[in-house]
Amino acid sequence: MDPVELAKRRVGTALHGKWTLDRLIDSGGMACVFAATHRNGNRVAIKLLHPGVARNDDARNRFLNEGYAANRVGHPGAVKVLDDDVTADGAVFLVMELLTGETLADRIERAPIPAELALFIGDQVLDVLAAAHEKNIIHRDIKPANVFLTEEGTVKLLDFGFARVREGGETLTQTRDGIVIGTASFMAPEQAMARREQVGARTDLWAVGATLFTSLSGQTVHQGKTMVDRLLAAADKPARPLASVVPTIASEVADVVDRALQFKIEDRWPDARSMQNAVRNAYEDLTGMELPDPGRTSVLPVVPSVARPPSPPAAPAANLDDEIDIELSVAFELQPRGDTDKPATLEISEDDIDDASLISASMIQEVPTPED
């Protein structure tokens, strides 16, 4: 049965007789997320791997790793995973804290957001990433759909499903070279080229840059009709400067974003903390105020009046909707033809795309590398 149909039918049923599924929040390629209530009254979110995917051991392990990785970050801005278990029909699920609010993707689908808010969100996301990177966890799928803005005004980072965790020199999550994982429009060049050994903290920073770029402009960094077009552009082309899309953007803001989006890894911000400091400085330059301390529960700032006129909202690009609706976390194998240093020669067939979630479920193996 179609996984979405199956997910809908689960609403109203109880997992293990104790978690009643109240409402389907979202259904993606690999899993669906429900709001649920424990028999003790506790409200939670339950993320359930589609049964077809759950039959694959690698996919299951990877899914369970998501909870481990998120909790290991040890930061209140990483969504908390409370438990994992298996349904009577063999589907694995994670029990998470239930968040209320909306994703950044939902927010920017309505309209691009003001620079002050983008910087506030960037600061919070980078604070979580700094903690994650310190623990050798690379998220690898930072994008607006994985950034959640809670009703209380805090920012939570979701979906550590693609996270790579290194512990004691050993890689706990497994991805072979030549396999692309992540989301095309938010993917750094080295990730789009599936250069596993180059994917690291600054790959996540590129994705934060792309998330800010899209938040401020309503457009993705690379334009392209299809996901494959955008993936190939990510592997091959430098990012457009933010000001080329939002000419009225404050230069302090554009500088932070453009540096994160540099094609060469060494030209980007060196680490999450330094990018975070730059974000905080840009906020101060813009507003004359300091951002609240991201370590504490803070509240989305009531956007202060700014001296300079705010940027007029750019029209959202057609492919942004697409990206968000599909919320496609690409995971398929590239077939390099000839010289792998020339990404333009990579060929991907439409079949690969149809198989995206299938391959992601079966692909996952990796040889540990000595260092990041």
Residues within the interface to Mg ion (CB under 5 A)? 146, 159
Residue 147 DSSP SS3: strand
Residues within the interface to ligand ADP (CB under 6 A)? 25-26, 28, 30-31, 33, 45, 47, 79, 96-99, 103, 145-146, 158-159, 161, 327, 329
Q: Which does 99 bind (CB under 5 to 8 A by kind): Mg ion, ligand ADP, none?
A: ligand ADP
Nearer to ligand ADP, 21 or 145 (CB): 145
Nearer to ligand ADP, 167 or 325 (CB): 325
The residues carrying an active-site annotation are 141
Residue number of the CB atom closest to ligand ADP = 28
Q: Which does 25 bind (CB under 5 to 8 A by kind): ligand ADP, Mg ion, none?
A: ligand ADP
Alpha-carbon distances, residue 216 vs 76, 82, 112, 207, 355 (angstroms): 25, 34, 5, 14, 32
Q: Which does 193 bind (CB under 5 to 8 A by kind): Mg ion, ligand ADP, none?
A: none
Q: Which does 98 bind (CB under 5 to 8 A by kind): ligand ADP, Mg ion, none?
A: ligand ADP
| Whole-angstrom distance, CA of residue 370 vs CA of residue 78 | 27
Per-residue tokens: 168: 């004691």
Cβ neighbours, 10 Å, residue 178: 16
Q: Least Å distance between CB 111 and ligand ADP?
A: 19
Q: Least Å distance between CB 89 and ligand ADP?
A: 19
Q: Least Å distance between CB 330 and Mg ion?
A: 12
Cβ neighbours, 10 Å, residue 264: 10
CB 170 within 8 Å of CB 176: no
Residue number of the CB atom closest to Mg ion = 159
CB 28 within 8 Å of CB 327: yes
Q: How far is CA 329 from the centre of its chain?
A: 9
The β-bridge partners of 31 are: 49
Nearer to ligand ADP, 99 or 239 (CB): 99
Nearer to ligand ADP, 30 or 233 (CB): 30
Residue 336 DSSP SS3: coil
Q: Which does 67 bind (CB under 5 to 8 A by kind): ligand ADP, Mg ion, none?
A: none
Nearer to Mg ion, 66 or 159 (CB): 159
DSSP calls for 46-110: EEEE-HHHHTSHHHHHHHHHHHHHHHHH--TTBPPEEEEEE-TTS-EEEEEEPP-EEEHHHHHHH
CB 31 within 8 Å of CB 54: no
Q: Least Å distance between CB 333 and ligand ADP?
A: 19
Q: Least Å distance between CB 326 and ligand ADP?
A: 11
Q: Least Å distance between CB 327 and ligand ADP?
A: 6
Q: Which does 118 bind (CB under 5 to 8 A by kind): Mg ion, ligand ADP, none?
A: none
Alpha-carbon distances, residue 65 vs 17, 77, 98, 164, 276 (angstroms): 25, 18, 19, 9, 27
Nearer to ligand ADP, 103 or 124 (CB): 103
Per-residue tokens: 245: 């899309």
